[in-house]
Amino acid sequence: MKKIIALLIIASCFWACSKESSTTTNNNNTTDSIRYVVNTTNAQNWSGYYLDENNQKVNVTDKPSGWEIIIVNKAPKPRPIEVSAIVMANNPGDTFSIETKIFVKTGQIAFHYYKGVSKLAETSTSKATLE
């Protein structure tokens, strides 16, 4: 009887350890891709930042409209995802726009659009949480 109880305890330990391991793997799923996009119209090249695959801020400078980057998430979830861009109009009084977008495998999950008329710098930031 003592041998059966000992075997049940050992089997329970193995089952609990394997369940904990699979939960950790699922919370850090590296198959999630994140795509950041920045578009501008009638504006100077933009500068800003995005949060990379390890959830670290990466500065971006002097990029043209249509910029995009795709990364594969390596950070534990839930985690924030964010892209921010700042631009100025080409000429005083020009109408310009800037938009930031975030996509994951389910589609677009964040969008921010700004349209303005000025020579002042304007910012567009999209934020979301990867679950």
Single-letter residue type at 3:
K
Of 48, 63, 43, whose CA–CA distance to 120 is shortest? 43
Q: Is the pLDDT of residue 19 over 60?
A: no
Of 40, 34, 35, 115, whose CA–CA distance to 85 is shortest? 40
Any idea which residue has 């504006």 for tokens? Answer: 43
Spatial contact of 98 and 39, defined as CB atoms under 8 Å apart: yes
H or E stretch at 6: helix 2-27
pTM: 0.74
CA distance linking residue 111 with residue 69, whole number of Å: 15
- The first and second tokens of residue 100, run together, are 């930031």
Instruction: Write the pLDDT tens digit of every residue in 36-85.
Output: 999 999 988 999 999 999 999 999 999 999 999 999 999 999 999 999 99
Instruction: Write the pLDDT tens digit of every residue in 79-105.
Output: 999 999 999 888 878 889 999 999 998
